[in-house]
Amino acid sequence: MIHPSRRSVVGLGAAAAGTLLLPRFAIAQADNRPAITIAVQKVTNSNTLDVMREQSNVGERVFFSSLWEALIGKNWRGSLETVPGLATEWRRIDEQTVELKLRPGVKFHNGDEMTAEDVVFSFGRERMFGSTEAKNRTTIKAFEQIPTPRPGKELPPEVSATARRIWPDLLRVDAVDKYTVRFVNATPDVTLEGRLSRYGSNILSRRGWEEAASYLDWARKPVTTGPYKVVEFKPDVSLTLEAHDEYWGGRPPLKRIRFVEVPEVSSRVNGLISGDYQFACDIPPDQIAGIEKNATFEVQGGTILNHRLTVFDKNHAQLANPLMRRAFTHAIDRQAIVDSLWSGRTRVPRGLQWEYYADMFQADWTVPEYNPALAQDLLKQANYKGDAIPYRLLNNYYTNQVATAQILVEMWKAVGLNVQIETKENWTQIMERSNTRAVRDWSNSAPFNDPVSSIVAQHGPNGQQQQIGEYANAEVNTLSEFLETSTDRPARRKAFRRMLEICEREDPAYTVLHQNAVFTAKPKSIKWKAAPAFAMDFRAGNFEV
């Protein structure tokens, strides 16, 4: 691996002297851009701004495209198709290697130019992989927890676990020259370009990392290339960003963005109407009509590339028998949930997949049918005696989460399942391994257009379910490796089909409830377009008053 020497900082005296030539009043009067406040349910779950630690829906909203950027970008105002990002072009060298040309002149928040040195460091051991090795399918044990302050840069175990989830076989990144890099994989991989575009494959400043006192100090104020930079982060309270005026994509239209945590929907809506907030996120569908009765406001949004799931811990005494988990899946009337809680604004998808998988999409696949009689028969076969089964729940982290859970519990009760809701305060409590971890809520996204981005990344050997010890299936793991390394597309499609059969039918890891949808309320006077994602785009050309 090439490790260029750290760049020198020169000319500070001349630069400082140059600024004195500018009239002071010009600096003071130059910035009349607006500042906005956005009410969100949660800013981040991990209390960090590290894209490797915060692999979440709420993290996506504050990270992209405001803070973190990748070499291959996404068209947030289109259909999320890939577009040039911090790299202007890329090409395949062979089945294991991709070469990318970096965009010259990109400035980090600290004023440094982004070069191959920063890209190599962003994908190196110190920042990402730690002691993990490529081409090793051993499950990396991890656990969701808020990191504590450390004197050095030791990586939280979740970072390397996430790194190998995203890049199971990345061998190294070589700097060919100042503006050219090569990603070298240990195995063939048809999805390298997709992996480069997904969240987690984002670039940071090497100097910004080295100058931070500790990992946590860096993770709460990372130095990146986005159009906005961190001013203040108050965990569990707010995140304030300000414009990065040297942004390569043009001067940001906003002077400042403040994301503030407002857990209750009613408070977000009332704050919007009173003018305290310019945007209110995570609006339930049943609130949309009421908001839009006021002609001053509108609600934007719709379905996104994310599905809501119910997830099983097969180690729980009542769920070890797959017949029990199958009973759960057949007791759910998914369409009734969509109709009653979502006003028909979303849909029941064809399992854990999306049409943009193209030829990998299984068009004839369906979620388990709603069949209460079959569910009852499965419980009888499993010799279920009515023991309580815990259902860990957060208070509307997901839109309509509590209402959905209450409906599910009644549906399960109708077939004889005794499911008891246990409300928890955070994800650490949800994930905690104990004899009360049985059923929980989750959602799964597809960061790029191949099944390895979802079913493998989330339920395979280093998916979260296996890393925290909820689920394992030997055939699933073998199929995961095949999907990650095969270049035979028909064979890969067949392997994906088999994974769906196991994970959704034979030995359920989860069951899909519905496709997720995101709705954001704002004044009509603000000209802004919602992305088909959790992300909120405030770059040049997508905000005007």
Confidence band of 141 (pLDDT split at 50, 70, 90): confident
In the numeric block, which tokens belong to residue 513? 């409830």
The pLDDT score that the predictor gives to residue 88 is: 98
Look up tokens 């829906």; give the residue. 57
Q: Per-residue pLDDT tens for 421-439?
A: 999 999 999 999 999 999 9
Distance CA 56, CA 44 (A): 8
Four-residue CA torsion sign, 220, 223, 226, 230: positive
In the numeric block, which tokens belong to residue 198? 């997904």
Distance CA 536, CA 304 (A): 13
Distance CA 208, CA 186 (A): 29
Question: Using omega within 30 degrees of 0 as the cis cutoff, is the peptide bond preceding 443 cis?
Answer: no
In the numeric block, which tokens belong to residue 259? 């994301």
Percent above pLDDT 70 for the chain: 93
Query: Three-state DSSP class for 118?
Result: helix
At 149, which amino acid appears?
P
Look up tokens 């996506």; give the residue. 60
The pLDDT score that the predictor gives to residue 3 is: 38
334: part of which helix (H) or strand (E)? helix 334-342
The pLDDT score that the predictor gives to residue 139 is: 92
Distance CA 255, CA 267 (A): 25
Distance CA 344, CA 142 (A): 38
Rg over CA atoms, the chain: 24
Please name which of 484, 479, 481, 482 lies closest in space to residue 506, comparing C-alpha atoms: 479
**Rounded to whole angstroms, what are the CA distances from 159 to 56, 87, 129, 216, 426?**
13, 24, 8, 12, 19
Q: What single DSSP character describes residue 148?
A: P
Query: Three-state DSSP class for 367?
Result: coil
Confidence band of 16 (pLDDT split at 50, 70, 90): very low
Q: Per-residue pLDDT tens for 341-374?
A: 999 999 999 999 999 999 999 999 999 999 999 9
Q: Is the pLDDT of residue 46 over 50?
A: yes
Distance CA 291, CA 522 (A): 9
Q: Per-residue pLDDT tens for 75-132?
A: 999 999 999 999 999 999 999 999 999 999 999 999 999 999 999 999 999 999 999 9
The pLDDT score that the predictor gives to residue 1 is: 36
